[in-house]
Structure 1
Amino acid sequence: MDNITQILKDAQDPDNNIRLVAECKLKQLQERNRPNFLLSLSAELSSDASPPECRCLAGIMLKNSVEGKYSEDNSILIEQWNNLDQCIKSQIKESLLITLGSLAPQARHASSQIIGRLAYIEIPSQGWQDLIGRLLHNMAPQGASPATLKQATLEALEHVFEEKTLRFEKDTINGVLDAVIRAMNHQAEKSFQVRVAAVKALQNVHKFADFASDDDCRNRIMTAISDAAKSDEAVEVKHAAFGCLTAIASKYYMELEPYMETTLSLTTEALGLEGGVDETAVLECIEFWSTICRKVIKLREKRKRFPRVILTADCHFLENPLCSLVPLLLQTLSLHQERDVDELNIFMSAMTCLGLVARTIGDAVVPFARQFIEGNIKVADWRSRKTAISVLGVILEGPSIEKLAPVVGLLMDKMEDPHMEIRGTATCTLGQVFELLHSPALDKRFFTNEDFPRIMAALSKRGKDVPEVSKEVCEAIYFLARGYDVPISSEVDHSKKKISSELSPFLSGVIDAILSASELDKKTPFGLPASASAYGALIEIVRVSNIWDFEAVIAIMDLMPRIMRRLNTALDAKAISSDDKTNRQNLQALLCDVLHAIIEKLGNSLHADKLVLWLVPSVQSFWITCQYFCSITA
């Protein structure tokens, strides 16, 4: 065969002409004699005399010749490998095992990946039966294997055990576990690269062990991971250990009860509450607890869907550890209040985890959160005030309305905060309360009628605030209105369908606030996208209003000409750019949607006959507008 080394070198030449010729030669070699081509690639990969870049490309091409599990070529590549002569396959596999001891990191890495892929192909058909034994020989304690060989071998084991469909004898798994755990021990293994590779291998190997049923096996694994997570001299080992903990939590969270105290101690250390902060370790640690909470939430949701099905027992043992976790998360939020990118990552992860914890332990989270909120919501630093409000927003799902009500009352004062971000965050959180907890039409109430005047007055005032705040007002009003919507199929008492009368005294002020909000954003042509949320809220308010109330009728009747004037202005406005034209059409469509909601609401009332003369000009204008839209969309 042609000099494969030179061809591989030319295939990476910056000169296009040389590179294209080399690529063409490689393709011809593969098509002419695929078995010998693969054999030459494996020989190139294992040769220490070959240039590193050539070995790297050879590894990539050899890997691509058997790697296709994410493409339609998977079955074809497997068939092509299986059809190779047994002698050639044996030579290729031997070259790969030899390459694990190479001095070139890229060659070792490529070899370990290819070994993992070939294990997926060969082992189910009883091929390469000595693979695990050969790999374990590299890890034998009595041998003098260099650290680089151990590291590459562990990486190969990581890839082999990545394939969940493979089956191994129990003795084989125990042998692999022994080797991996021994390599994780900082006293037995001095190379931190080997220890990192061992932890990453364990992340896959543990799935094949009897973790759930074998106490001794589980204790060995968890002890090894805990020791690795305490590593001070190599942060990479700590990162990998927390990643392994998360992988275990995703499958065996029910078996982790005996290890909660140790894990909480590791959490305290990782979050930097007793020393320095390592961002990756913090994120991995938080993800561990988030994973556990997601599993519990999923289990409970499954119980609700299938109440008669016998499911695994609930994880009540997690309540105490999670209660201990909440103060740690709140302290983490205080330490990382969105000052730079790294702290933002930690802040958002901790906030997400806190929300999942609230959904998991319910009312138990409120005392901790309330203490934090009350302690930060009035301090001078605006970031602390914003964090306090954000904490309230993320714990809304889980606790009962009775427990949350005293805390949510703190929101109203913050809607008058001098800092714009605080007002916006408070209004956004109020919208979340309306969305999640306040649905009077379905007998779910958070606010009483006595609270309404203050709430509606605050929304009306903030609707005329800066665009960043007024947009949140529109969202809040939208969800408020949705809470009064009774589904058509609902068997709610007929009297409940008139419950939106609670809104009637405030409709005029709310409509003014929404219309003001839609006018505030002058940065984009025709007030988009701010107008979208404003008019969406307006449509919802009109739709749920009780048309039998005189105050509601007056407010909606007054809205009609105001919308028509805006529509006429939008029709006459000049649009220069294509974006202007698109925004103008979108605005016109929104205004027509509002008109449609008004006409539909008034047309279905007993007032319709008294309003005909008043509506005629507006309906005529509306009809002209519809004709206009038909003409521009034809």
Structure 2
Amino acid sequence: MDIPNALLATTSPDANLRKQAEDALNQAVNENAGQLMVTLSQALAAEDFPTPGRQQAGLFLKNILDAKDYALQELKIQQWYSLADDVRNAIKQYALSSLKAQDAIAAHTAAQVVAKIGSIDVPQKQWPDLLRILVENVTSGTDSVKHASLETLGYLCEGLDEDSLEASESNQILTAIVDGIRKENPDKIRLSAVVALRNSLEFVNENFSRDAERTHIMTVVCEATQCTDVQVRVRAFECIATIASLYYEYLGEYMSVLCDLTFKAVQADQAEVGLQSLEFWSSICDVELEFIEEGRYGDPAVAAANLKRYVETVLPALVPMLLNTLTQQEEDQFEDDTWNLSMAGATTLTLAAQVVEDAIVAPVMQFVTTNIQSANWHQKEAAIMAFGSILDGPHQQTIQPIVENAMPVLITCMNDPNALVRDTTAWTIGRICEIHGVVMARCLGPLMQLIVAGLDQESKVAAHMCYAIHYIFQSFSELDEGTTPLDPYFGHVFDKCLMTCQLSSEENIRVSAFEALGMMIQHGSSNATPHILSRLTSILEHLEGNIEKHKANPAYGQEFYGLYTCACDVLVVVIQRVDHDIRPFADRIMQCLLNIFSTGHTTAGEEAFLATGALAGAIESDFKKYMTQFYPVLIAGLSNVQEHAVCASAVGVVGDICRALGADVNVYIPEIVNQLLVILRFPNLNRTVKPPVIAVFGDIGLAIEGEFEPYFQHVVEMLLQAAQACVAVQVDDEDAVEYLNQLRESILEAFTGILQGLSSHNKGPLMVPALQGIGQFLALLSAETNRSDSVTTTAAGLIGDIASILGVQAKLLLKEQFIQSLLLDTSRIDDDQAQSVASWAKQLVDETLRL
């Protein structure tokens, strides 16, 4: 099948023909990608080729270059640049010419292709005339060419990183886009231009910093909000919301106009326009919340200088507008979760409450008290939603008395005939349990009755009741007493939750009920333990029954995986709570877990590993009898590097088993160590896996002690290489700093565990040749300003072990100034354990230096 016919066949209703066509195209990619890409670009540009074929040619061409996975995208970029220059230029020219296609679908597809190639070439300066050509198309081309070129600019900006463009390039793009938005242009062109502006806003910060340019941009965008085309209005307000997020500091002179435009859109325009207008106010709230947080936990002076308090200024007008949106519920809103004006209004009201705090209470509560007893369900539900939306924000002394007084009314509302009223009431009660849970102490009896009854209501209501259980038990666990006010209700609520888990046919309810059970198990008082143990048999019977059903109906596995995941979560918290008392149930639990592993499901397998680790930790050496069956499962998990969460869970189990079995684990260690080293060599390893893999070598060393010697050389070389890679990162990259601290701590833990294990067999001196590398690592840590307290304390612990175990052999290292600096830093940490470690390590170092 030749390429043109294959392209046409990809749209055939005949599945076999489509498969043949796709196979032919994929084979052509593998045989000669460059030649195929030229052919595809020619097909896209061919005016006499049928539209479906042109569209498929463009999409297939784009997909050859496109990938969502970062590593695969980098590979495709390399493959693109491996093509000869004349081949790449031909592809680009055919794609560019296709923007002038008479067929609108072909031109639209060409916009995607040009933008994809541009996202690769523009940052590398490999298509220097692209932006000039697109700008010329927009300013002087026909309407269809303008439209296609603006689409291209929009897609291009969407695909570029923020630092990909120089100022001159972003100026070219902005000039073309703003020209396209002008009200003199047809609506179709204005729409593509507004979309392009939305995608380009991250690149135009310099333009926004200049008054005249900023005002020109704001003027054309505000004009676009009044366009007769509803989609142009929607996209224009979307632009305004994005501008609020990116350029909040420049909005002051435009706020009067923006208030007028957004308020009118919410109150009088079509719903989809109103939704985007509300998004503007949500964006303002988000920015102001960031500054408020900065004022609380960062630099108050900077926060005060940047916070303009727009929300507080417009609050007298904003609150009534938002409250009015709450009354505009859809008639079928309980069954249909489609995002609408009342939902968006509630979200914005919630954010506004967090921004203005106590100032929100009076105007909202006036609305609540007026409408909460209304016979009109719209007004009643809106009042309850308004109340639930302002629970998080006002100070506790302001809102808690109101919450206490509201509870009897809310409990009554749970009997309302309207399902949406009950649903919103249940959500509000859940929010109260989350944010003001201890307030519930005075009405626990009625509340618990309400919760148990609510579990029998519609699925959405029941899910909110589970949410309430979750947080009410979490709230009372913080009282830190042997008993809690929830004790009298524990058994009844627990059993009702368990029944919901076992009998509900809806997965979302089962998941919510299992989560509530887990929280009850985790936070129930000591008096609850016998009841939990008495129900464990029922939990296991339910799990075993479903495993058998799954075996009988393997094709319906998707129905069971969610249950397995939730059941494993519950087993983990049960095991952690009852510890050694889990032994009578261990055989049944392990058999269930082995059956779950056999399904091969990723998420269920991940949770099953966590449950296995918890079981090993609880029954300790008794876990040995399960190793014959479990060991192949463990190795398979360690080998599953592509599913990084599963792999990391399996690594965690290695540590649990080492602690449980001690020296008895040695028979399994050769393959485990080999597999751990394979993981670390994997080129595309998810970085979250690396720290636990490194740290677990410390667990292995502690478990097998002197038997670690055969692995010592390879492992220590790897640790020293990892230590050398721990270079400093920019202060403002919080994620990188956190990861680096995790990595450093894991290296320290590994050295500590290995050294302690070797010392028990008098093999500690094996570590002496590594002291120079360890010293370089400790020196790096000493100089690091972003070092966490945990890293500092762990480093002090390793220093103490080196002094204790190696003595005078480590004297050269221990007299270094950075050693004293690390110990001093540890002693200054406001933590008893850290100070104890510092004192212990310093004493050992001082004694060694006196020798």
Query: Given the superposition, is the C-alpha separation of residues 461 and 25 from structure 1 closer, same or farther in structure 2, using an over 3 Å criterion?
Result: closer
2: distance between equivalents of 1:513 and 1:263? 54
- What is the TM-score normalised by the length of structure 2? 0.58
Structure 1, 386-395 or 17-26: larger mean CA deviation: 17-26
Matched, 1:96 2:76: no
Query: Given the superposition, is the C-alpha separation of residues 507 and 225 from structure 1 closer, same or farther in structure 2, using an over 3 Å criterion?
Result: same
2: distance between equivalents of 1:623 and 1:35? 63
The residue number in structure 2 matching 1:216 is 212
Alignment of 1:206-355 (within 5 A): 206-209=201-204, 210-231=206-227, 233-271=228-266, 273-274=267-268, 276=269, 278-307=270-299, 310=302, 313-336=306-329, 339-340=332-333, 341=336, 345-355=340-350
The residue number in structure 1 matching 2:174 is 177
The residue number in structure 1 matching 2:453 is 465
2: distance between equivalents of 1:589 and 1:121? 44
Matched, 1:381 2:376: yes
* SS of match in other structure, 2:375: coil
Query: Given the superposition, is the C-alpha separation of residues 155 and 523 from structure 1 closer, same or farther in structure 2, using an over 3 Å criterion?
Result: same
Give the AA of the match of 1:350. Answer: G
Matched, 1:37 2:36: yes
2: distance between equivalents of 1:353 and 1:107? 41
> What is the number of equivalent residue pairs in this alignment?
565
Shift of 1:198: 0.9
The residue number in structure 2 matching 1:404 is 399
Q: 1:165 aligns with which of 163, 166, 172?
A: 163
1: distance between equivalents of 2:534 and 2:124? 77
Give the AA of the match of 1:81. Answer: W
Q: Which has the higher contact order (CA 8 A, sep 6+)?
A: 1
Matched, 1:482 2:461: no
1: distance between equivalents of 2:307 and 2:236? 27
The residue number in structure 2 matching 1:357 is 352
Give the AA of the match of 2:503. Answer: T
Shift of 1:534: 7.2
1: distance between equivalents of 2:589 and 2:525? 25
Query: Given the superposition, is the C-alpha separation of residues 32 and 152 from structure 1 closer, same or farther in structure 2, using an over 3 Å criterion?
Result: same
* SS of match in other structure, 2:247: helix
Shift of 1:5: 3.0
Q: Is the 8 A contact 1:211 1:218 kept in 2?
A: yes
Query: Given the superposition, is the C-alpha separation of residues 5 and 345 from structure 1 closer, same or farther in structure 2, using an over 3 Å criterion?
Result: same
The residue number in structure 1 matching 2:493 is 514
* SS of match in other structure, 1:155: helix
Q: 1:456 aligns with which of 439, 444, 448?
A: 444
Structure 1, 131-140 or 514-523: larger mean CA deviation: 514-523
Query: Given the superposition, is the C-alpha separation of residues 248 and 592 from structure 1 closer, same or farther in structure 2, using an over 3 Å criterion?
Result: closer
Q: Is the 8 A contact 1:463 1:517 kept in 2?
A: no
2: distance between equivalents of 1:571 and 1:113? 54
The residue number in structure 1 matching 2:786 is none
Structure 1, 559-568 or 206-215: larger mean CA deviation: 559-568
Deviation by residue 1:599-628 (Cα, 9 ceiling, x = unmatched):
99xxxxxxxxxxxxxxxxxx9xx9996488
Q: Is the 8 A contact 1:46 1:99 kept in 2?
A: yes
Shift of 1:97: 2.3
1: distance between equivalents of 2:534 and 2:35? 80
2: distance between equivalents of 1:173 and 1:121? 16
1: distance between equivalents of 2:543 and 2:42? 71
The residue number in structure 2 matching 1:547 is none
Shift of 1:307: 4.4
The residue number in structure 1 matching 2:388 is 393
Deviation by residue 1:511-539 (Cα, 9 ceiling, x = unmatched):
57636855986991899778757766765
Give the AA of the match of 2:145. Answer: L
* SS of match in other structure, 1:465: helix
Shift of 1:412: 1.5
Matched, 1:59 2:41: no
Shift of 1:371: 1.6
* SS of match in other structure, 2:147: helix
Query: Given the superposition, is the C-alpha separation of residues 387 and 68 from structure 1 closer, same or farther in structure 2, using an over 3 Å criterion?
Result: same
Query: Given the superposition, is the C-alpha separation of residues 86 and 357 from structure 1 closer, same or farther in structure 2, using an over 3 Å criterion?
Result: same
Shift of 1:165: 3.4
Q: Is the 8 A contact 1:378 1:385 kept in 2?
A: yes
Give the helix-richer structure, 1 or 2: 2
The residue number in structure 2 matching 1:549 is none
The residue number in structure 1 matching 2:409 is 413
Structure 1, 250-259 or 20-29: larger mean CA deviation: 20-29
The residue number in structure 2 matching 1:543 is 525
1: distance between equivalents of 2:521 and 2:5? 71
Give the AA of the match of 2:364. Answer: A
- What is the TM-score normalised by the length of structure 1? 0.75
Q: Is the 8 A contact 1:337 1:383 kept in 2?
A: no
Give the AA of the match of 1:301. Answer: E
Q: Is the 8 A contact 1:431 1:475 kept in 2?
A: yes
2: distance between equivalents of 1:184 and 1:513? 64
Structure 1, 157-166 or 338-347: larger mean CA deviation: 338-347
Structure 1, 362-371 or 379-388: larger mean CA deviation: 379-388
Deviation by residue 1:570-624 (Cα, 9 ceiling, x = unmatched):
8999997658999999999989989997x99xxxxxxxxxxxxxxxxxx9xx999
Deviation by residue 1:532-574 (Cα, 9 ceiling, x = unmatched):
5776676577517xxxxxxxxxxx5xx8998888778889999
Shift of 1:404: 1.8
1: distance between equivalents of 2:468 and 2:525? 16
Q: Is the 8 A contact 2:41 2:58 kept in 1?
A: yes
Alignment of 1:1-40 (within 5 A): 4-15=3-14, 22-23=21-22, 25-27=24-26, 29-30=28-29, 33-40=32-39
Give the AA of the match of 1:386. Answer: E
Shift of 1:249: 2.3
Give the AA of the match of 1:462. Answer: L
2: distance between equivalents of 1:129 and 1:584? 55
Structure 2, gaps ≥5 residues long: 551-559, 593-625, 627-851
Shift of 1:160: 2.8
* SS of match in other structure, 1:139: helix
Q: Is the 8 A contact 1:474 1:517 kept in 2?
A: no
